[in-house]
Amino acid sequence: MSSLTFLRLDPYQIQPRFCCVCGTRIATNEDGRGSRPICDLCSTRVRCVACGLPILDLEPQQKIDGGIRACNSCLPDLVVKASALGRLFRIALVALDTALSIRIAHLKQVRLVSRTEVIRTGRRARLEQGGSPLDIAATASQDGTILVRRGERRDSAFGILCHEIGHMWQYENWSNVDALDPVIREGFCEWVALHGLLQHGYDQQARKRLKRRDSVYGAGLRYFVELARVVPEREILYGQVNFPQFLGRIKEHFRT
C-alpha cells in the first residue's frame, strides 16, 4: 500500500502583504486585495481628496475645506490659495488666446471658494443636465464671474478654468446659450478646455477628458472633435454652425 505525502505550506513562506499607509502586516486575504492594500484600521481614516489614500496624521495645513483633507504628498499640487488660482487663470487666458484666439472682454472676477458655495451656485444648472450637484467643480455666470472650488489638482483646475472661459465666450459671442442642448453647450467648453490643456502641455489631463463616457461632457467633446474635422474653427467659435449635424449619432453612441 502506497503511502501518501501531504504537502503542508508554511503561511510565513507566502509573500506577506503590508498596508500601503501605515506599513503594518495584513493578516488576511480579505484586507489585502488590490494593488494598494489597506488595513482595517486605516480604512476608517479620513482620505486624501487627491490620491484617495487614508491620512495618518491630520495637520493644520492639510485641511482644504470643511471635511476635505489632503496628504502631505498631494498638498503641493492642489490649488488652495487665491494667488495660485490667479496665476493659473492668467496662464489659461494666454493658452486659449494662443490656441483659439479666445479673448474675454467682460471678465469680472475669478474666485476660489468653498465647495459648498460652488455647489449652491451651480446646483440648478447641474441638475438640469441629469448629474449630481456634488460633481460641480466650478461655475460661470453671465455677469463675468467664475467660481472654482478649493482643493482641485493643478492640471484639473487648469482644465476647469479653460472650460469656464469657454462659457464666458459663449455668453459674449453666441445667442440663446441657455436654450441650447446641454451636449452642445458643455461640449463646446470641453473642446475649448482640450485646446488649452494641449497648448500648455497637460497631455495627461487632455487624454483623461477624451476618455469620458458620460452623455453630456464626454459626448459633447466627441461631437466637437468630429465637427472640427469638417467645419472651420472660426465658425465653431462664433456658433455659426448647423449644430444638429450628426449630433444624434454621437448622443446615441454615448448612451450604449
Q: In whole angstroms, how far apart are CA 120 and each of 111, 115, 134, 247?
A: 15, 8, 10, 31
Give domain status of residue 142, yes or no. Answer: yes
Tally of structural domains, the chain = 1
Q: Given pLDDT bands bounded at 50, 70 and 90, which one contains residue 15?
A: low
Integer Cα distance of 168 and 146 in angstroms: 9
**Range list of H helices, the chain:** 82-100, 115-128, 154-173, 182-200, 203-210, 217-227, 233-237, 247-255
Please state whether the predicted TM-score (pTM) of the whole model is above 0.75: yes
Give domain status of residue 55, yes or no. Answer: no
Task: Identify the residue whose cell numbers are 501531504.
Answer: 6
Q: Does the pLDDT value for residue 142 go beyond 80? A: no
> Tell me: the pLDDT tens digits for 220-251?
999 999 999 999 999 999 998 888 888 888 88
Q: Which residues form the domain of 205?
A: 81-255
Give domain status of residue 57, yes or no. Answer: no
Integer Cα distance of 15 and 243 in angstroms: 58
Compute how many other C-beta atoms are within 10 angstroms of the C-beta atom of residue 174. Answer: 16
Integer Cα distance of 106 and 171 in angstroms: 10
Query: Nearest to residue 109, comparing CAs of 161, 72, 179?
Result: 161
Give domain status of residue 205, yes or no. Answer: yes
Give domain status of residue 113, yes or no. Answer: yes
Q: Among 4-8, 18-22, 76-80, 92-96, whose mean pLDDT is lowest?
A: 4-8
Q: Among 35-49, 69-83, 145-159, whose mean pLDDT is lowest?
A: 35-49
Give domain status of residue 117, yes or no. Answer: yes
Give domain status of residue 228, yes or no. Answer: yes
Give domain status of residue 221, yes or no. Answer: yes
CA torsion through residues 77, 81, 82, 86, sign: negative
